[in-house]
């Protein structure tokens, strides 16, 4: 089986913003565990950057120490929350997280906030996560997308890592890692300007992963994204 390094690629760019508050992780951990994650920080330039990087550092350490994915995200939440209270200049900082953990023939995905995971294969694109955002929750409660997008709260995240002492973490799966497909983890700076058809075209089964990650980020920028842009791709079912 190919290594994670041979089956993955990631690109993270500041885009039209001065500072990149996104962070990304792709790593093989002890016992062959594979961890991929994207975090999108918030809370001012310094705070957002600190929150996203610190969250992924703690996430990695906790998974490597044997914690399950959900517990590791909750530990990351506690660490970011404590960091903000230890440093008043970071008070109120937080971050989204979407993380994938593979263990053998299966993988799980956890998320907090509005960064997303998509499955891409020959049949199309499927969003694997649910956003914790005003728009997503308004639509789930029956409001139309058009109505929700008119709200002054349309950009609000309803759940994040580090802004409270504890956080509820959604977990999806297990998914079959032996089925041929690709998982895209991304921040909202990418998916807000790209349709699912764009994702399927740029990161389809025959794409080169490094080229696909670059193309996704470049296309989001060209389509007008005004946020940091991050894409991490992991391919499964490879020989």
Taking only the tens place, the pLDDT of each residue in 75-102 is 999 999 999 999 988 988 999 999 999 9
Taking only the tens place, the pLDDT of each residue in 169-182 is 999 999 999 999 99
pLDDT for the residue numbered 155: 66
Q: What is the largest CA-CA distance in the chain?
A: 50
Taking only the tens place, the pLDDT of each residue in 125-166 is 999 999 987 776 666 766 666 665 665 666 678 899 999 999
Domain boundaries, the chain: 4-127+160-236
Residue 2 has pLDDT above 80, yes or no: no
Give the lowest-confidence range in 46-55, 68-77, 155-164, 227-236.
155-164
Cβ neighbours of residue 11 under 8 Å, at least 6 residues apart? 213, 214, 216, 217, 229, 230, 231
pLDDT for the residue numbered 3: 83
Q: Does residue 69 contact residue 63 with C-beta atoms inside 8 Å?
A: yes
What value does the mean pLDDT of the chain take?
A: 92
Average pLDDT over residues 36-53: 89
Other CB atoms within a 10 A radius of the CB of residue 50 amount to 24
Residue 4 has pLDDT above 90, yes or no: no
pLDDT for the residue numbered 79: 97
Average pLDDT over residues 45-63: 93
Class of the domain covering 4-127+160-236: alpha beta
- Please give the model's pTM, rounded to 2 decimal places: 0.93
User: Angle CA(120)–CA(40)–CA(217) in degrees, nearest 5?
Assistant: 50
Cα–Cα distance, 216 to 203 (Å, whole number): 8
Beta strands in the chain (DSSP E): 8-13, 22-28, 34-42, 94-95, 97-103, 106-112, 116-121, 124-127, 170-176, 181-186, 229-236
Taking only the tens place, the pLDDT of each residue in 190-229 is 999 999 999 999 999 889 999 999 999 999 999 999 999 9
């Amino acid at each position: 089986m190919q290594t994670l390094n041979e089956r993955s690629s990631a690109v993270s760019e500041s885009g039209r913003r001065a500072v990149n508050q996104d962070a990304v992780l792709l790593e093989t951990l002890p016992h062959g565990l594979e961890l991929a994650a994207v975090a999108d920080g918030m809370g001012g330039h310094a705070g957002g950057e600190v929150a996203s990087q610190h969250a992924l550092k703690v996430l990695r350490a906790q998974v490597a120490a044997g914690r399950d994915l959900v517990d590791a995200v909750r530990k990351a939440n506690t660490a970011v929350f404590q960091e903000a209270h230890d440093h008043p200049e970071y008070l109120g900082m937080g971050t989204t997280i979407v993380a994938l953990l593979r263990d053998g023939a299966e993988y799980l995905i956890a998320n907090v906030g509005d960064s997303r995971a998509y499955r891409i294969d020959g049949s199309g694109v499927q969003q694997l996560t649910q956003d914790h955002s005003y728009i997503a929750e308004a639509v789930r409660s029956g409001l139309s997308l058009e109505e929700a997008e008119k709200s002054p709260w349309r950009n609000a995240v309803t759940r994040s890592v580090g802004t409270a002492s504890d956080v509820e973490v959604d977990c999806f799966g297990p998914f079959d890692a032996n089925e041929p497909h690709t998982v895209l983890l991304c921040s909202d700076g990418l998916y807000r300007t790209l349709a699912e058809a764009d994702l399927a075209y740029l990161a389809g089964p025959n794409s080169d992963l490094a080229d696909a990650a670059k193309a996704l980020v470049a296309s989001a920028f060209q389509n007008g994204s005004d946020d940091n842009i991050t894409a991490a791709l992991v391919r499964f079912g490879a020989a």
